[in-house]
Every structure is written in C-alpha cells, then in structure tokens.
Amino acid sequence: MDPSPSNYTQANRIQRRDADQLLEEYSKIIRWRNNGTETVLDIGCGPGDITIDFILPRIPKPFGKLVGVDILEKMIKHAKRLYERDNVHFQILDIENGDIDLFLKDYPEGFDHITSLYCLQWVRDQKKGMKNIYNLLKPGGDCLFTLPVKHAVYNIYDELAKIPRWNALMSSNCDFFASFINQDNVAEAMSEIFKLTGFRYYNVEIIDKRITYTGLDNILGFITAVNPIFANMETMEKTEYLKDYLKIAAELNVYREAENPSESEFGTPYQLAVAYAVK
C-alpha cells in the first residue's frame, strides 16, 4: 500500500466512520489511568486525521503524550506538518520489522495504551508484530485494534491473481496481508496469537458491516488508496488493471456500472475484527 496522504484522506470515509463508532464504544472500556501523564501510541496512523479527530478527543485531559507511527515517511511528514503539537508527535516505525528497542529509547517506560486502526491486516508476520506491540506496552497497559478481515477487495485480488499479468505482481493475498485474512477462523487465529504473545486478557469480536461508494471517482479513489500494487504501476498498466478490477467486481456483483458514471456503485458487506487486549 503506497497512496499519497491526500489520496488516502479523500478515500477514508469508511475508516473514519468505523473509527468513530469503535472509539466511542471502547473509550468506555479502555483502562484510562486518569493520572494526567498517560501515553497513547497509534500504530499505522496514516495521514494522522483519525489520530487527531477521533483518538485525541477521547483521551482524558491532561495527558502525557499521543504518538502516531507509520511505516511510510510521506504519511508521517504529512501528519507532522498538519497535526504535530506540544504533546502530539508523529514518527516513522514499522511495527513488523522495525527496531522497537531503538524506538523505545524515546519512551523508556513504554505506553499505557495502543490503538491500531485498519493497519494490522498489512502485518504478514502477526506473531512478530504482536510481540512488538506487547513490548511497547507498559505492564497493565491495553490495546485496541480494528482490521477488515473479510472484504470484497480480497476476493477481487484472488480473481485478479488468476490473470498471469497481475499474478506476477500479486499471486495471493498472503503476499501482502496476514494469513488469516478472508479465512473463516479469524477470531480463533487472532486469539491464539494474543495467547502465545502473553496477553493476560484478550477478546476478539467479528462485526458485520456494509459500505457503498457511489460515483466512479469515489470508487476509483477507494480502490486505489488501499491497493498493495497499484502505486508502483506505469500509467498504461494502471488503466488496464482498473479495467480488469472493475470487470471482476461486476462479475462478483460488487460493482454496478451506470450510464452516468456519477451513479455507478461499489457496494459490499465486509467483516471487521475488533480486538481488545490487556498486558
């Protein structure tokens, strides 16, 4: 995944809606310490708008620090430029392969709370990513994750992988996503990882949702913003890829092309895993 921060913020309506609903519910469950110094880490913060609009307002004030991290430098540059302030910071960190000990030099006590919204599906080695998250938490600290685990886009990638040209760029969802993505046993698989990592409490919920994008521009914005291979293609290749993508989406009854492109629709049910765990 490599969209520009502004492309992503134009296409993240679904993430914003889910983050707002989820944080409203879970801010009552998060074990706030209310000690005026608590620290929150948001992993995979992207352009930072969700960190600022939905996480920051729910932290009891005063607080210690809110830190957003992301693997992509351009996301962090964008977030720093728009949102950095006294106790809100943004830094580059790869939660799967990054140097966690080095990162912790700036935060030697670790964090009281960790959030990660719409990011962990990108972590292929879940055991390693979760161990890193565990090491970033203070004892007694808690974390809240949400990730789309079933979604039409994963089915479309499976079909695109049957076309040799696109198979060369992405042979299966496992090339880019956690192995439990689009499988039936997600809650069990995630629970097992929490258990192996050593979390003393964990709960994984699978929630059914639906989203419809209307208008070809919005549809293409969404498709390209969350795509693992699109950003690296040449212009010509992009056009052909999108043609194949929409053809498959139509065959799967996800996409309906209208005579007037502004009335075309891309609609799909999807499942979100919501996990809460305590160290």
Q: CB-wise, 128 or 247, nearer to ligand SAM?
A: 128
Q: Which of 11, 30, 41, 72 binds ligand SAM (CB under 6 A)?
A: 72
What is the H or E stretch that residue 134 is in? helix 126-136
Print burial letters for 126-162: b (CB count within 10 Å at least 16), e (below 16): beebbbbbbebbbeebbbbbbbbbbbbbbbbbebbbe
Please give the distance of CA 88 from its chain centroid, rounded to a whole number.
20
Print burial letters for 174-209: b (CB count within 10 Å at least 16), e (below 16): eebbbebbbeeebbebbbbbbeebebeebebeeeeb
Residues 177-236 contacting ligand SAM, CB under 6 A = 226
142 is an interface residue for ligand SAM by CB under 6 A: no
95 is an interface residue for ligand SAM by CB under 6 A: yes
117 is an interface residue for ligand SAM by CB under 6 A: yes
Q: How far is the CB of 2 from ligand SAM (least distance, A)?
A: 8
Q: CB-wise, 6 or 37, nearer to ligand SAM?
A: 6
Number of Cβ atoms within 10 Å of the Cβ of 38? 22
First to last CA, the chain: 30
126 is an interface residue for ligand SAM by CB under 6 A: no
Cα R_g (the chain), whole angstroms: 19
Q: CB-wise, 118 or 255, nearer to ligand SAM?
A: 118
Region binding ligand SAM by CB under 6 A among candidate stretches 25-33, 40-48, 183-191, 260-268: 40-48
User: How far is residue 120's CA from residue 122's CA, in Å, rounded to a whole number?
Assistant: 5
23 is an interface residue for ligand SAM by CB under 6 A: no
Q: Which of 23, 52, 79, 119 binds ligand SAM (CB under 6 A)?
A: 119
| Cβ(209)–Cβ(18) below 8 Å | yes
Q: For residue 96, give both structure tokens.
A: 């799967």
Q: CB-wise, 94 or 142, nearer to ligand SAM?
A: 94
Region binding ligand SAM by CB under 6 A among candidate stretches 70-78, 101-109, 235-243, 253-261: 70-78
Q: CB-wise, 6 or 262, nearer to ligand SAM?
A: 6
Q: CB-wise, 33 or 228, nearer to ligand SAM?
A: 228
Please give the distance of CA 149 from its chain centroid, rounded to a whole number.
11
Binding-site size, ligand SAM (CB under 6 A):
23
Q: Which of 12, 39, 173, 224 binds ligand SAM (CB under 6 A)?
A: 12
User: How far is residue 148's CA from residue 119's CA, in Å, rounded to a whole number?
Assistant: 9
64 is an interface residue for ligand SAM by CB under 6 A: no
Q: For residue 18, give both structure tokens.
A: 């889910």
List residues near ligand SAM by CB under 6 A.
Answer: 1, 12, 15, 19, 43-46, 50, 70-72, 75, 93-96, 117-119, 122-123, 226
